[in-house]
A and B are shown apart, each in its own frame.
Chain A
């Protein structure tokens, strides 16, 4: 028994700024979870196990074999845990779109701390906060000092704060892919070079997509998916629906497209592309069926929220990284 235990991998799963979907995707391997548990001990997994931060703190360096870190870095607690888990883990995996590229929480980079706090704690319709109280990282009460994590101005990716060994993309990553990667690690197979993307293909979504595609991609208006009657077999782009397929890595099994919804880009850019949004703008611009400046602008205006659509999952890891907020002149 002792010998068996020694050979077991030590696995940790942690969430930063995440919705919990990535943690659930680990459970989504269904009965295969028993295979995972047979090959690994889960030593830290807040969604399922009551292991405290202090217990992690006490682990020796390199104690954890594989850490699946999901979620972006939104506050000082996320960063503290990322740094701690990096020290304790042999392999650090950015698991899911948020850890890899910032993901949906990364859309917070269209604002800054001040505008978010103003909206949430002052301006929202249901808020009554006459004193204008906003969260303070430290607060003195008579019992002592209270502290809560500090909310950052920027959403960061995991790679912005620690060294990352591998990336498993997706929102959430497909459980089958996780299983493949896990089984490869636990079987002791030779691991790919550092910083590579695991559990995904090198080609784009379009390569896997079975919808009918022609060379005739001409669009005189873009539609939201609910505005058209999708025929279920023609390429979404050819129907005028924005589909992130061309600028997104394959490997998810084109699940959204198979479900008759266009790709939103959660698997991130293919190799050698740093900014999927820019590539998507480049691709989609060529489809516009007009050479007249005014008409082009009109067709373009039928896409709602260009920045948010093309950078839905990737804003904090894109070239511009965040919206430039107006310069605030401090009057004090």
Chain B
């Protein structure tokens, strides 16, 4: 498993986290290439379906980032995301999937460095868990 490169899908909110990730890029910071970013308008837009579908399509981990609590562009989208995140974690656990495969964190528009560190930490966390079996199990009905 030494060469395992996890695939991580990241849903970043338009107003803070995506801008934060952008800052990491424009500041030429280096971070793990395993993160595949999808921009959403708000972390509150991240439906549990997105997370499940990511795993089903072969992601090894899912990262969700939104504005810091109290800073949401839409006032409380990130709180809704937090509550959904708790449900998804519980559901994944009940389905035999390690809840460490998903992570929610807050990244502001100025936190490019923090985003780069988070990306590295998340990659490391998922790499430790190894490849996610969801896709292969789902495609082989027995």
Instruction: Report which A residues bind B (CB closer than 8 A).
Output: 152-154, 156, 160, 274-275, 277-279, 281-282, 284-286, 288, 290-291, 293, 296-297, 300, 305-308, 310, 318-327
Query: Judging by beta carbons under 8 Å apart, are A324 and B96 in contact?
Result: yes
Are A326 and B49 also in contact (CB < 8 A) when A293-B86, A321-B138 are? no
Binds A, one of B2-10, B23-31, B52-60, B110-118: B52-60
**Cβ-neighbour of B80 out of A274, A286, A306 (below 8 A):** A286
Q: Which residue, B49, B52, B87, B134, has most C-beta atoms of chain A within 10 A?
A: B87
The listed residue (B53, B76, B82, B134) touching A324 by CB distance below 8 A is B134
Q: Is there contact, CB below 8 Å, between B96 and A323? A: yes
Q: Tell me how far the C-beta of B58 lies from the nearest C-beta in chain A, rounded to whole angstroms.
A: 13
Return chain B residues, CB-CB under 8 Å to A327.
Answer: 133
Contacts A278-B48, A300-B90 known; list 20 others, CB within 8 Å. Answer: A152-B142, A278-B47, A284-B87, A285-B80, A285-B84, A286-B80, A290-B83, A293-B86, A296-B82, A296-B83, A297-B86, A300-B86, A319-B53, A320-B55, A321-B137, A321-B138, A324-B96, A324-B97, A324-B134, A325-B96
Q: In the complex, which residues of chain B have a beta carbon less than 8 angstroms from the beta carbon of A305?
A: 94
Contacts of A321 in B (CB 8 A): 137-138, 141
Instruction: State whether the Cβ of B41 lies closer than 8 Å to any Cβ in chain A.
Output: no
- Pick the contact of B48: A153, A281, A323 (CB < 8 A): A281
CB closest chain-A residue, reference B141 = A154
Q: Is residue B40 within 8 Å, beta carbon to beta carbon, of the partner chain? A: no
Which residues of B approach A to under 8 Å, CB–CB?
Answer: 47-49, 52-53, 55-56, 69, 76, 79-80, 82-84, 86-88, 90-91, 94-97, 133-134, 137-138, 141-142
Asked if B96 and A279 make an inter-chain contact with CB atoms under 8 angstroms apart, the answer reads no
Check B49 against A275 for contact (C-beta < 8 Å): yes
Please give me the residue from chain B that is nearest to A112 by CB atom. Answer: B142
Residues of B within 8 A of A318 (CB): 52
What CA separation (Å) do A274 and B83 show in the bound complex?
22
Nearest-Cβ distance from residue B30 to partner chain A, whole angstroms? 31
- Distance of A319 Cα from B47 Cα, bound (Å): 13
Q: Which of A154, A275, A297 contacts B52 (CB 8 A)?
A: A275
User: Chain B contact residues: over half helix, strand or loop, or mixed?
Assistant: helix
A-B pair number, CB within 8 angstroms: 91
In the complex, what residues of A have CB within 8 A of residue B52's CB?
A: 275, 278, 318-320
Question: Which of the residues A152, A286, A297, A306 comes within 8 Å of B91, measured between beta carbons?
Answer: A306
Partner of A306, one of B49, B69, B94: B94
A54 to chain B, nearest CB (A): 29
In the assembly, what is the distance between CA of A285 and CA of B48, in Å?
A: 10
Closest to B80 in A: A286
CB-CB under 8 A for A281 and B95, given A152-B142, A324-B133: no
B101 to chain A, nearest CB (A): 11
Asked whether, in the complex, the Cβ of B83 is within 8 Å of the Cβ of A286, the reply is: yes
Say yes or no: B142 contacts A288, CB within 8 Å: no
Name the distance in Å between B126's Cβ and chain A's nearest Cβ. 16
**B142 cross-chain contacts in A, Cβ below 8 A:** 152-154
Q: For the complex formed, measure the closest distance between the CB of A86 and the CB atoms of chain B, giving whole angstroms.
A: 18
Note all chain B residues with C-beta closer than 8 A to A322. Answer: 95, 137-138
Q: A154-B142, A319-B53 are in contact. Are A326 and B96 (CB under 8 A)?
A: yes
**Residues of A contacting B137 with CB < 8 Å?**
321-322, 324
Alpha-carbon gap, A321 to B142, bound state (A): 12
CB-defined contacts of B95 to chain A, threshold 8 Å: 307, 320, 322-324
A/B interface sample: 23 pairs, CB < 8 A: A153-B142, A154-B141, A154-B142, A275-B52, A277-B91, A278-B47, A278-B48, A278-B52, A281-B87, A285-B87, A286-B80, A291-B76, A293-B86, A296-B83, A300-B90, A305-B94, A306-B94, A307-B94, A318-B52, A322-B137, A323-B96, A324-B95, A324-B137
Ranked nearest first, the 7 interchain pairs of A and B with the lowest CB-CB distance are A324-B96, A285-B83, A307-B94, A153-B142, A278-B48, A319-B52, A281-B87
Which residue of B56, B83, B87, B96 contacts A319 across the interface (Cβ within 8 Å)? B56
Chain A residues with CB under 8 Å of B94's CB are 305-308, 323
A306-B94, A326-B96 known; A281-B88 Cβ under 8 A: yes
